[in-house]
Amino acid sequence: MKKRVDLPEKKYEGYIFDLDGTLVDSMPLHYRAWREALARAGAPDHVFRADEFYSCGGKSANDVVCFLNERYGMHMDAASTAADKRRIYLEMLEKEGMQPIREVVEFVHSLGDAPKAIATGSAMPGASRTLFDVILTPDEVEHGKPAPDMFLKAAELLGVAPDRCVVFEDAEPGMKAAEAAGMDCVQVRRPSLA
């Protein structure tokens, strides 16, 4: 199997991780849940294919629906479509489970007591607070990714200057947010959804 991430050799004072597609291999499940929820909401089949899905990585579910409405001239209810997507995702998760991204999770364990945070676009992160000092969701900041708010707040809560933190991300909006926050970024490569 192809390596998903090139781990940094440099030591940092703070480590910030995205969740979906970075710590857990949940993106295929999220994609399928989105496709089902959008079909139920009346979206045509060509809407939100893999490239669009990945371009929205790190955005809240409501923001994704608003983006699709604007882009395709649709009128899906953002709150109900986002809630339906979350429900479908949780049902799939319960039936199928999900695997951690081994290389990244092993790296997290190797960090010991170093300050660590999760800054995720997911409304309900499924991560253990025993491994992480801080877990942030879009509800806790004014602007989600690609704005730097989540990463800056994570650094603040960790008590580490932003330029002494590194972010692990799989999606372009998250990588842009890390850059805007003045942080180094390690890309976690994603598998194909085809």
Which residues does the annotation mark as catalytic? 18
Type and span of the H or E element at 166: strand 165-169
Q: Decide: 5 and 104 in contact? Cβ < 8 Å.
A: yes
Q: Decide: 131 and 141 in contact? Cβ < 8 Å.
A: no
Q: How many CB atoms lie within 10 A of CB 118?
A: 26
Contacts of 96 (CB under 8 A, 6+ apart): 29
